[in-house]
Amino acid sequence: MNAPPFPSPRQLETSLRLLELLADGRFHSGEALGGALGMGRGGVWRVVRDIGNLGFEVHGVTGKGYRLAEPLELLAEERIRAAMVPHDGPALRQLHVLPTVDSTNRWLMGRALSGGTAPAAVVSEHQSGGRGRRGRVWVSPFGQNLYLSLLWYFEDMDHSLPACSLAVAVAVARALGVLGVGDVGLKWPNDVHWRGRKLAGMLLELVGEAAGPYKVVMGVGVNVNMVAADIDQPWTSLRGVTGQAWDRNRVAACLLQEILSGVARFQREGMASCQADWDALDLTRGRRVTVHLADGAVEGTALGTDGDGALRLRTGQGVQHFHAGEVSLRVAR
Ligand code: BTN
């Protein structure tokens, strides 16, 4: 069955206002909602239908009005900033919160190209063209998960981009640890797994400019409250792991503080800043794996990573190093 059409920007704005009014999970009369939105009961009914199309369950009861099946916390800059605790990374200069965007990575790359400040971050309630690694789509329904990108300027790129993406993966795993989520592991180069199911992924992109600092956009997608989705690999969400709904502002705050401090340490020390943590979280080390390349596949035993973040593999030809972006990896069954 085809998904219902995503609302127009104007419809989305009204839907967001209704979601804010219903966020407490209590009943609100159609009359009160209509008064707040400046429309009649029929108009309210249509907006209720729109938020149903966004994936929210709304209960309508005669004489009581409407309520969300469960309370909702929309993303908000002040809530994210308030939930961040002091850390040893740089201050976040800008934090943008969007209702919808094609891709937070693409949006932030555009800001970087027009000279935007850094570190800057963007989160969005929805992505219409969420990008995964190797050209895949990142499933990004409205209001359920976290789609976050952080822009960072490196004056000198002393350390490799693949190593940086491992440092971000370690920072995300640390954030999950701070939030109390156990059993998290990393599958090279930067898939975050929980008991064999994908929980989060990262996509680092270099902004193409000949001169000036290296501008890197670090995109992180974390499945937070999603319970159903058409995804062609085993996956889970924080809700799936813990059985409870999560406040996405708190998750965003924790991710940002850990990534800001993790990348600052990486800038000073390179892979040494996170090697021990990577080794402890590495799900493939010592296991037989298959590395899939554009023109074939290589099998071997994973030996961990080198100082550039490349995967070391013992093969029939000796130890080979594979770099992110050129290879993918599947744990052999
Ligand atoms: C992967 O594991 O394939 C990488 C997924 C990266 C998804 C995030 S969501 C926020 C940011 N914006 C995007 O379009 N992609 C990244």
SS (H, E, C) 258-291: HHHHHHHHHHHHHHHHCHHHHHHHECCCCCEEEE
Whether the pLDDT of residue 297 is over 80: the answer is yes
133 noted as active-site residue: yes
pLDDT value for 294: 76
Nearest atom in ligand 1 to the alpha carbon of residue 130 is 14
* 10 catalytic residue (yes or no): no
Q: Please state, in angstroms and rounded to a whole number, the distance separating the CA atoms of residues 200 and 194.
A: 9
Is the pLDDT assigned to residue 330 strictly greater than 70?
A: no
The model's pLDDT over 207-232, given as tens digits with 9 standing for 90+, comes to: 977 677 899 999 999 999 999 899 98
**249-291 residue pLDDT tens:** 999 999 999 999 999 999 999 999 999 999 999 998 999 898 8
Query: Active-site residue among 67, 111, 131, 133?
Result: 133
Instruction: Return the best residue to mutate from 124, 151, 203, 204 for the ligand 1 pocket (most ligand atoms within 8 A of CB).
Output: 203
Cβ(105) – ligand 1 distance below 6 Å: yes
Max intra-chain CA distance, the chain: 75
The whole-number pLDDT of residue 296 equals 84
pTM of the model: 0.92
Please list, in sequence order, all residues whose beta carbon lies within 8 angstroms of the beta carbon of residue 319, skipping any fewer than 6 positions away.
303, 312, 313
Q: Is the CB of 219 under 6 A from ligand 1?
A: yes
Q: What does the alpha-carbon distance between residue 183 and residue 202 come to, in Å, rounded to a whole number?
A: 19
Residue to mutate, 128, 220, 233, 328, ligand 1, most ligand atoms under 8 Å from C-beta: 220
Active site residue 174: no
In single-letter form, the type of residue at position 288 comes to: R
Q: What are phi and psi of 4, to 5 degrees?
A: -65, 155
Q: What is the dihedral of CA 264, 266, 272, 273, to 10 degrees?
A: 40
Distances (CA, A) of 160 to 36, 95, 154, 320: 53, 26, 11, 18
For residues 110-115, give the mean pLDDT.
93
Ligand 1 binding pocket includes 15 (Cβ within 6 Å): no
